[in-house]
Chain A
């Protein structure tokens, strides 16, 4: 479908398509979220439900020759409001 036909005219229209779908959100501070998108606005504030947050913690201390170990912390939340200024990208989850 060509863009005009699909009615996609601006980037936000793509996000609109993902409403009530599971999305992958990358955040500043090495955080990632997957959850079901319920609402968003022009600031990219998001409301997600059934969210799993993944936090990468790079531990540089105590690691030899500058090779930090990456720890991954995960947590789940029922409902989450994500402030838009931390959002780097929003995408539909990769389908296998």
Chain B
């Protein structure tokens, strides 16, 4: 061993030790140090068996021959052997004394000397690999001062007490709980010594205060210890949780996390997995922190309570301060004892053996720091209070304030943590898609949105938006459409309202779309420069529209291609051919009608036809709708007036469409072509009635007059007139409902569309129209229908208006001839209607038995009739008045009687009845109140 630079003397010493140990040289194996204090007792746990043949194997039973005894004679001379020997001998000793292993205590007497002599040199000498073990054992296991370990508090109190005055010396040797007698004895003793100690008191008080502070510090430490203990449990819990969570995580990986090892983004995913794990750890820690905080909170509360007990005495402090000579010693003692008691009672844990675990400390710092800060603040405040003698109320307020602050801080903390956790959770999917992925998807979406006609494809949203805007009074004329020259565009739907994130998103989308489109266009241009479009579309079109293929197409009106639409077909060519033939005749007829000649068109070259079938009507109507939609679209696309070229073009297209519309309407077909007239047939379905207002907007007033004439001439052919009698029945049938629906549609659509033209008509025209009506139809039947009555009222009121304004200069003054014509026509009408006056009332035609308590719907239904009769009365002469009164006398009297007798269900009904009657009577210059019963 000289080459290790160790001294020979060590070896010598060693040898000496071997020899000295005497009893067994094999004791060299004692490197195991079984007998030492630091022996870990593992030897006892050894399982040894199968030793029966050991003796035979090693020849242990007989005397050991010298054959294998290399060590003994070699010891003095051979250094090398001396090193090897212990190994062999150890084995031998094991053989010989197996029991010694199991009874290490028996070795003890011989061991201590060795172990104590365990110097550094001895270790160096020791070649056995095990030689180091006991030392490590001993260092780790050798506990310095066992008492200091588990009751630092106690020891500190000791030291504190030691610093303190004589008075406390009596307490010093008593770390245990003192009995009451002891305390009493002490108190007695102290009282006797009180006089002596007065001079020391000032100093003592100082000490006292320090003591309190120290005690609080101790408590703090104690809390830390409790904390650590709880921490241990928490850690176990945490570990379990972690495991569980990891398993969970393995079960539900986020999308695209699984088989991507070959993907170029694998690394990123790995990073994300790491991130995820970190997040999970964070979450766990957060959960832990929550628990910790809860603990801390409890701790603080406990502390507060402790302080309360402590502060029950500030009065005493104060009094003592005021009169220090009298009560201070007792007080002091009492307080001290109280303090100690409190400390003991509050720290049951300090008694038990707690070994703080280093690992847990890592979780503590911030909490402890916070805790300590809060506590130190509080203790300081308390200290200050003690010194300054603050009032109880102030203290209370301060404490409350402190509590509030703590709670607030914790709430904030909690909030923040929850938010962070949420964000972290959502961030799981961050960066799952690259920017190019997103762009790709946007491109696909945008390509789906691009259409040839953005406005029409977005029609309902656009129209609705326009309606909304006009309703809100906003005058933004822009259509919410992005257009890309001729290439098409994108409908943007409704304008977004509100200042939320949505508008931003929409704006972003718009910008993105514009960028994409402009990029695409640029690329297109470049391609055009380079490749002469030879390969364009070779790989198919990108902007497929397959997604909305079937359902939408059918209702779509493709303005650019008429043949694509099912009903716009070359058919109208052949129709207009036939109508062309008769055009002049029809014109003639209409003209004649308008001239109120009351004669049918000349029948020279009349082609009689079957009336249009239902199916034909429907087909024509579909075609009409197509044209109307196109015209409406055209109106929206009207170019600016400055643009002459396109304006003219537009006007041309518009005119041709309107012409087409006019032809399709078949107004110019001769009157007698069929019964009903084709135009009247077109008005039969609801949609035929409803298209009229949309259509008449585009017709010139000339054409409208023609239409009006035709309508009046063929009024009796209208379905609503023919089937008007259905309404007289009160049964609740489908037919009744249908006719009602048609009638409403007629009044709402057809009458509305002719109203402005009638109300501008001249007296001559009105006379002519009335004449036409009287001539061509059964006026009694017409007057018994709602639409007929409405039309007649319309005529009469128009004439009344003309009469009233005839004095003024603005209206064209009807000639006396015209007035005479009108009077003739009116007389004719009156004459025809006179026998039926009473039957004009729906209530007369179909008397309704109204159960009492219900308002009579007949009154409402009768209202237009009363209006008509009033209008009639206005035009009538005296003799006609008498006819009117005689025929309606009964009806009027009936109503007045029922009103006066109170045979009405409600005030409302009474009012309606009276208003009805008065409407008529006023026209005669009478009033219901004048009628004598």
Given contacts A6-B571, A17-B615, A17-B619, contact A39 B555 (CB under 8 A): yes
Check A50 for interface membership: any CB of B closer than 8 A. yes
Q: Are A6 and B551 in contact (CB-based, < 8 A)?
A: no
- Cβ-defined contact, B550 with A41, below 8 A: yes
B566 at the binding interface (Cβ < 8 Å): yes
Query: Residues of A contacting B570 with CB < 8 Å?
Result: 4-5
In the complex, A45→B444 CA distance in Å? 28
Judge whether B574 is part of the interface by a CB distance below 8 angstroms.
Answer: yes
Q: Contact between B550 and A43 (Cβ–Cβ < 8 Å)?
A: yes
Q: A8-B619, A92-B614 are in contact. Are A20 and B687 (CB under 8 A)?
A: yes
Judged by a CB distance under 8 angstroms, whether A22 is at the interface is yes
* A10 interface residue (CB < 8 Å to B): yes
Question: Cβ of A10: which chain B residues have Cβ within 8 Å of it?
Answer: 566
B622 interface contact, C-beta 8 A = yes
A7 close to B623 (CB less than 8 A)? yes
Judge whether B737 is part of the interface by a CB distance below 8 angstroms: yes
- Is A81 positioned at the interface, with any CB of B under 8 Å from its CB? no
* Interface class of chain A by DSSP: loop
Check if B614 sits within 8 Å of A95, measured CB to CB.
yes
Chain B: which residue is nearest A8 at the CB level? B566
Q: Determine whether the beta carbon of B571 is less than 8 Å from that of A21.
A: no
Partner pick for A42 among B554, B618, B623, CB 8 A cutoff: B554
Q: Which of A17-50 contact B (CB under 8 A)?
A: 17-22, 39-43, 45, 50
Q: Does B737 contact A50, Cβ atoms closer than 8 Å? A: yes
Contact among A1, A19, A45 with B571 in the assembled complex (CB-CB below 8 Å): A1
Complex interface: chain B residues within 8 A of A19 (CB)? 622, 687
| Residues of chain B from 603 to 655 with CB closer than 8 A to chain A in the complex | 614-616, 618-619, 622-623
Q: Which 6 pairs of residues, A with B, have the shortest CB-CB distance? A: A42-B550, A41-B551, A7-B569, A5-B571, A17-B618, A7-B567
Q: Is the CB of A21 within 8 A of B618?
A: yes
Contact A7 B568 (CB under 8 A): yes
Can you name 8 A-B residue pairings with CB atoms under 8 Å? A1-B571, A5-B570, A7-B619, A7-B622, A13-B567, A16-B554, A16-B566, A43-B550
Identity of the chain B residue whose Cβ is nearest the Cβ of A5 in the assembled complex: B571
Q: Kindly list chain A residues whose C-beta atoms are within 8 Å of the C-beta of B565.
A: 7
Within the complex, the shortest CB–CB distance from A78 to chain B, in Å, comes to: 12
Find chain B residues with CB under 8 A from A22 CB: 738
A13–B551 contact, CB under 8 A? no
CA distance A64 to B623 in the complex (A): 56
How many angstroms from the CA of A45 to the CA of B568 in the assembled complex?
Answer: 25
Contact call B622/A16, Cβ cutoff below 8 A: yes
Quick check: B569 and A5 within 8 Å, CB to CB? yes
B685 CB–A CB distance under 8 Å: yes
Tell me if A71 counts as interface (CB < 8 A to partner B): no
**Is B744 part of the binding interface, using a Cβ–Cβ cutoff of 8 Å?**
no
A17, B622: Cβ atoms closer than 8 Å: yes
Provide the bound-state CA to CA distance between A52 and B732, in Å.
14
* Inter-chain contact B550/A21, CB cutoff 8 Å: no
Q: Is the CB of B686 within 8 A of A7?
A: no
B748 to chain A, nearest CB (A): 14
Interface positions of B from 530 to 578, Cβ below 8 Å from A: 549-555, 565-571, 574
- For B616, the chain A residues whose CB sits under 8 A away are 1, 6
A5 near B618 (CB under 8 angstroms)?
no
A41 cross-chain contacts in B, Cβ below 8 A: 550-552, 554
In the bound complex, how far is the Cα of B553 from the Cα of A10, in angstroms?
Answer: 13
Q: Closest CB-CB distance, B674 to chain A, in whole Å?
A: 15
Are B619 and A21 touching (Cβ within 8 A)? Answer: no
- Cβ proximity bits B200-214 to A, threshold 8 Å, 1 near / 0 not: 000000000000000
User: How many interface residues does B have (CB within 8 Å)?
Assistant: 29
Task: Specify which chain A residues have a CB less than 8 angstroms from the CB of B738 in the assembled complex.
Answer: 22
Q: Distance (Å) between the CB of A4 and the closest chain B CB? A: 7
List chain A residues, Cβ under 8 A from B555.
39
A92: chain B residues within 8 A (beta carbon): 614
- For residue B618, which residues in chain A have a CB less than 8 angstroms away from its CB? 17-18, 21
Query: Could you tell me the distance in whole angstroms from the C-beta of B825 to the nearest C-beta in chain A?
Result: 38
Residue in contact with B619 in the complex, picked from A1, A4, A12, A40, CB distance below 8 Å: A1
Q: Which of A5, A7, A45 has the most CB of B within 10 A?
A: A7
**List of A residues within 8 angstroms of B615 by Cβ:** 17
Among B552, B566, B690, point to the contact of A9 (Cβ < 8 A). B566
Quick check: B614 and A5 within 8 Å, CB to CB? no
B residues near A7, Cβ cutoff 8 Å:
565-569, 571, 619, 622-623
B residues 671-693 touching A (CB-CB < 8 Å):
685-687, 690
Contact (A4, B550) CB under 8 Å given A21-B685, A50-B737, A92-B614 = no
A9 to B563 alpha-carbon distance, docked (Å): 11
**How far apart are the CA atoms of A52 and B618 in the complex, in Å?**
23
Contact at B554–A12, with CB atoms within 8 Å? yes
User: How far apart are the CA atoms of A80 and B281 in the complex, in Å?
Assistant: 55
Q: In the assembly, what is the distance between CA of A92 and CA of B685, in Å?
A: 13
B687 to chain A, nearest CB (A): 4
Most buried by A among B550, B553, B554, B574: B554
A12 to B550, CA, bound (A): 11
A10 to B564, CA, bound (A): 12
Q: Would A20 and B686 count as touching, CB distance under 8 A?
A: yes
Q: Given the complex, which residues of B lie within 8 Å of A17, measured CB to CB? A: 615, 618-619, 622
Give the chain B neighbours of A40 by CB distance below 8 A.
554
Closest B-chain residue to A42, C-beta based?
A: B550
Q: Which residues of B contact A12 (CB under 8 A)?
A: 554
Interface residues of B in 731-785 (CB under 8 A from A): 734, 737-738
**Bound Cα distance A7, B569 (Å):** 5
With a CB–CB cut-off of 8 A, which chain A residues contact B566? 7-10, 13, 16
Give the distance in Å from the alpha carbon of A40 to the alpha carbon of B571 in the complex. 25
Closest partner residue, chain B, to A10 (CB atom): B566
Which residues of A sit under 8 angstroms from B734, Cβ to Cβ? 52
Rounded to whole Å, the gap between the CB of A50 and the closest CB of chain B is 7
- Residues of chain A lying within 8 A (CB to CB) of residue B690: 20
Cα separation A10 to B737 with both chains bound (whole Å): 32
- Which residues of A60-89 have CB atoms within 8 Å of chain B's CB atoms? none
A78 to B277, CA, bound (A): 58
Interface centre among A13, A18, A39 (most CB of B within 10 A): A13
Name the distance in Å between B614's Cβ and chain A's nearest Cβ. 7
A18→B734 CA distance, assembly (Å): 18
Q: Is the CB of A20 within 8 A of B569?
A: no
By beta carbon, the residue of chain A nearest B738 is: A22
- Give chain B nearest CB distance to A40 CB in angstroms: 8
CA distance A72 to B618 in the complex (A): 32
Q: Which residues of A contact B614 (CB under 8 A)?
A: 92, 95
Instruction: Chain A residues near B550: list those with CB within 8 A.
Output: 41-43
Most buried by B among A10, A17, A20, A21: A17
- What residue in chain B is nearest A18 (Cβ atoms)? B618
Complex Cα distance, B894 from A57, in Å, reads: 52
CB-nearest residue of chain A to B625: A19
**Could you say which residues of chain B place their CB within 8 Å of the CB of A6?**
567, 569, 571, 616, 619
Which residues of B have CB within 8 Å of A52? 734
Contacts of A50 in B (CB 8 A): 737
| Given A5-B571, A6-B571, A7-B619, CB of A20 within 8 Å of CB of B685 | yes
The CA of A5 and the CA of B687, in the complex, are separated in Å by 22
> How far is A20 from B551 in the complex, measured between Cα atoms in Å?
18
Across-interface contacts of B569 in A (CB, < 8 A): 4-7
Closest Cβ of chain A to B802, distance in Å, is 38
A22 and B737 CA atoms in complex are apart in Å by 12
Q: A11–B551 Cα gap in the complex (Å)?
A: 14
Distance of B574 from chain A, by nearest CB (Å)? 6
